[in-house]
A and B are shown apart, each in its own frame.
Chain A
Amino acid sequence: MKLFRADRLIDGTGAAPIEGAALLVDGDRIVAVGRAADIGVPDGAEILDAPAGATLMPGLVDVHVHLAYSGAVDPDGFRAETASIHYPAMALRAARYARETLEYGFTSVRDMHAPGGTIIDLRNAIDAGLLEGPRIKAPGLGLTVTGGHMDQAGFGDMMSFRDMNAACDGPVGFRKGVREQLKRGADFIKINPCVGNRRDDRLYRMEMTVEEIRAACDEAHEQGVMVGAHTSGGPPLTASIEAGCDTVEHAHWIDDATLEMMVARGTFLVPTLAVNEASSNYVLAQPNASPKILHWAAASEEAKWERLTRAKKLGVKVAAGSDAGFFLEHGKANGREIELLVQGGYSTLEAIHCATAVGADLMQIEAGRLLPGKLADLLVVDGNPLADIRILRDRSRLTVFKGGKLAARRLSQHAAIKS
């Protein structure tokens, strides 16, 4: 057994921190949490005293990442990389991104689309203990209509790709798509029902039909998995939720009636503020950005804050998802989402709740809360993130435990030589 003691413990539930806290871990599970004075020192427990002023908290959870991608911002570079990296190489590179993500305190991530089963295979390698990384939930390929958000036009007629996109058409097509990804080992299904329009100024439009969304959700639910949906907003978003989507990603434009429906249904919102910020910054820096793109960027920037305020007020479950892998580097950038939740009106304690307990609930993993019986995924943070949320992005302040085991091990070059 390991006994962690720290000046402060944030349990992830949103409750006020415990001062002078202790947490007892047996194997990979938490067995007791409370005041150090109450917990005492069980016989034979290894004592791990955090430095003065340090905080114990749950490992962070990022529910929207793309481990198969580098975060390259240049669209041509991104497309070249997509077509040039073999899947074994993609999996190996993703192993590095996963490792870096873990070292930045994220003990669980939800991948939102990757070619060639790469992240499903990486999940298995990590679960088997072959390589170190966060817990991963992966959907395999995101399902999309022909020419849709995840089957983008642009490559020449002579190009063909294997296992890179999963274009489906019609309810039967989507049902089959769901079955194929689950056969490959997906933990949940990603679909793309609702997008911003590429051809005119519409901020959102249906890309899948309601029948297609319903067929995908029915099949996924029948097989016992959730459905995550790339969405933009408005009535198409409402229709996506009504048709059965369990989590909506991005979702910039949501009216109150839809938010109330989400509360009633338990639908999660993943606002991906960080990628929105990064993509807007990128777009604004492009000298030749089209008015349509500038319009969408400006409108989404404005809508995302206003929507977040109402979602919080109405009690929608909001989870932290950065979209790292697009515009954002793995590891370094994931924590930006937590800072932006604070900027958007969440208290530091609430933002941590979104990035721990809510994320774990969304991923259906027994983590995200420092409570007895939960997985001992936890961080020792040098400092108080409630006073300054930014310290969570300072890797030198983090010591990471996954399943009770020290996960991240840092060595300076001198230490590496001198031991």
Chain B
Amino acid sequence: MKTVFEADLLIDGSGNAAIEKGAVLVEDGFVVAAGRQADIGRPDGAYVVTAPAGATLMPGLIDSHVHLAYSGIADVKKLRAERMDSSYPAVALAAAARAQLSLTYGVTALRDMHAPGGTIIDLRDAIEAGDIVGPRLRACGRGLTVTGGHMDPAAYADHTTIDNFAHACDGADGFRRGARIEAKRGADFIKINSCVSARKVPGIWWRPEMSPEEIRTACDEAHGQGLRVASHTSGGLPLTITVANGVDCVEHAHWIDDDCIELMVRNGTYLVPTLLVNERTFEMPLAPGKSYSPWSLASREAKWVSLQKARKAGIKVGSGTDAGFMVPHGTMHWRELALLIQGGYTPMEAIVAATAVNAEIMELNAGILAAGRFADMLFVAGNPLDDIAILGDATRLTVFKSGIRVAEAGTLLSSFPAEIAA
């Protein structure tokens, strides 16, 4: 069945100028053609879906850094309780609801950056199988980390063990095996934690956590299996070493040296600067007598400098919120785009970061309304190029996944896809 979607404005996600009176021709869930209504026409027998006057047709948004297993609760003790009290089936079910909420906010694909118990891998499969309506997911399973590292927190007592929770690896062989275990469980890519923040010496805000050999081996194994590697990073020399040893996408990366920028350009390394989660620190109420840490203040400034350098050098920057940590799912997604704009990106460039670039990072056949790609699209009441904040108003959004209307005005049309597809 052919369907023509028409709107007063078409943004195709490629970065090309918006098209007045645009149209997208969709057949069997895929885009056949996109362009001017005059060129696309209305093929015989096609359904025509016309957006209300003044609306924009654009690709579904993508968030390339989320943690669906976590609620976004900011209180560390509550976060720990949440993690300890929810059995993995319960985590998967709650994650399904968060994924659905994200979908109502126009987010049609998500990259999950660590979850316990294979929960998001299973959710990805359940969505693909049609058990649950949700965005397209890419999941890494558990993030690989050194013993006691960023994703193996020392917070639990000696007598406490938690199954399938953290994935601590040590040594090159340990990380190779770690990558194999996550790949076996069904990971789409491998997440490592190569470089973390340091707070002891002012000005040295980073330190390596994995050895170069560990990073290289994890990357070799992942690449050998056809999987990409993303890494939690902070900055400085350990970040450069991370990039030099084969990581495909660096997350956070507040401090990027000039030689690292050159290396990223040469290697085609992606950057996901997660601006929002960094800013969120300053939106949380401070406990009486407490002040923001020097690290927080320094990273807050540095991230803008690094972003400018990356943009100037032509590094591909993806839009990722870190939803699940201090950032709620769905509702604040638009703010990462707003922060990219604050950091010097044009609204169109910010949209490209959240569509085409993210799709490229995730190796997802979406993100651009071009022939052969999934017809994951939004009708937006208004023009997001004039005011990016309208993307955060779910009542303005109609969400299509594979050309099928799945959410409208903030409401999921069905949580049961077979109903829609029937």
What is A's interface to B at a CB cutoff of 8 Å?
A: 86-93, 95-96, 99-100, 103, 116-118, 121-122, 124-125, 130-132, 409-414, 416-419
Contact = CB atoms under 8 A, between A and B. Distances in A.
B89 A118 contact: yes
Nearest to B130: A96
Nearest to B417: A96
Contacts of B415: 99, 131-132
Report the interface size class on chain B. Answer: 35 or more
Contact of B93 (A100, A121, A412): A121
Interface string B77-96: 00000000001111111101
Contact of B404 (A90, A117, A410, A416): A416
Interface stretch (B59-67, B120-128, B205-213): B120-128
Contacts of B422: 412-413
Given A117-B89, A130-B94, A417-B405, A92 B419 contact: no
A375 to B, nearest CB: 21
Nearest to A89: B122
10 contacts: A89-B126, A90-B89, A92-B92, A92-B122, A95-B93, A117-B89, A121-B87, A125-B97, A130-B97, A416-B406
Given A103-B419, A416-B404, A92 B414 contact: no
A90 B125 CA distance: 11
Nearest to B69: A88
A89 B404 contact: no
B404 A95 contact: no
A419 B49 CA distance: 9
B413 A88 contact: no
Contact of B416 (A93, A100, A118, A412): A100
B238 interface: no
A88 B131 contact: no
A86 B422 CA distance: 28
A312 to B, nearest CB: 37
Contact of B419 (A91, A95, A411, A418): A411
Contacts of A412: 422
Interface of B: 1, 3, 47, 49, 87-94, 96-97, 117-119, 122-123, 125-126, 129-132, 398, 400, 403-406, 408, 413-416, 418-422
Given A417-B403, A417-B404, A419-B408, A95 B96 contact: yes
A96 B420 contact: no
Contacts of B122: 86, 88-89, 92
B90 A121 contact: yes
Given A118-B89, A416-B413, A417-B405, A92 B96 contact: yes
In the complex, the 5 A-B pairs of residues with the closest C-beta atoms, listed nearest first: A91-B89, A88-B92, A92-B126, A130-B97, A89-B122
A89 B125 contact: yes
A87 B87 CA distance: 10
B419 A121 contact: no
Interface centre among A92, A93, A124, A419 (most CB of B within 10 A): A92
A131 B126 contact: no
Contact of A121 (B89, B418, B420): B89
Contacts of B405: 411, 416-417, 419
A103 B123 contact: no
A100 B96 CA distance: 17
A95 B122 CA distance: 13
Given A117-B89, A418-B49, A103 B420 contact: no
B419 A409 contact: yes
Contacts of A132: 415-416
Nearest to A115: B89
Contact of B421 (A93, A409, A413): A413
Nearest to B92: A88
Nearest to B411: A409
Nearest to B163: A162
Contact of A99 (B89, B118, B416, B420): B416
A414 B131 contact: no
Given A91-B92, A96-B130, A416-B420, 9 more contacts: A86-B122, A88-B91, A88-B123, A93-B129, A95-B131, A116-B87, A410-B414, A417-B49, A419-B398
Given A92-B131, A103-B419, A124-B90, A411 B123 contact: no
Nearest to B403: A417
Nearest to B400: A417
Contacts of B89: 87-88, 90-91, 116-118, 121-122
A110 to B, nearest CB: 19
Nearest to B186: A86
B416 A418 contact: no
Nearest to A93: B131
Query: Which of A96, A410, A417 has the largest count of B CB atoms less than 10 A from its CB?
Result: A417
A86 B184 CA distance: 13
Contacts of A93: 126, 129, 131
A87 B3 contact: no
Contacts of B92: 88-89, 91-92
Contacts of A419: 398, 405, 408
A105 to B, nearest CB: 15
Q: Which of A89, A90, A117, A131 has the most CB of B within 10 A?
A: A89
A407 to B, nearest CB: 11
Contacts of A87: 87-89
B131 A91 contact: no
Contacts of A96: 126, 130-132, 416, 418
Contacts of B132: 92, 95-96
Contacts of A122: 89, 93
Contacts of A89: 92, 122, 125-126
Contacts of A90: 89
Contacts of B129: 93
A116 B413 CA distance: 31
Contacts of B414: 409-411
Nearest to A87: B89
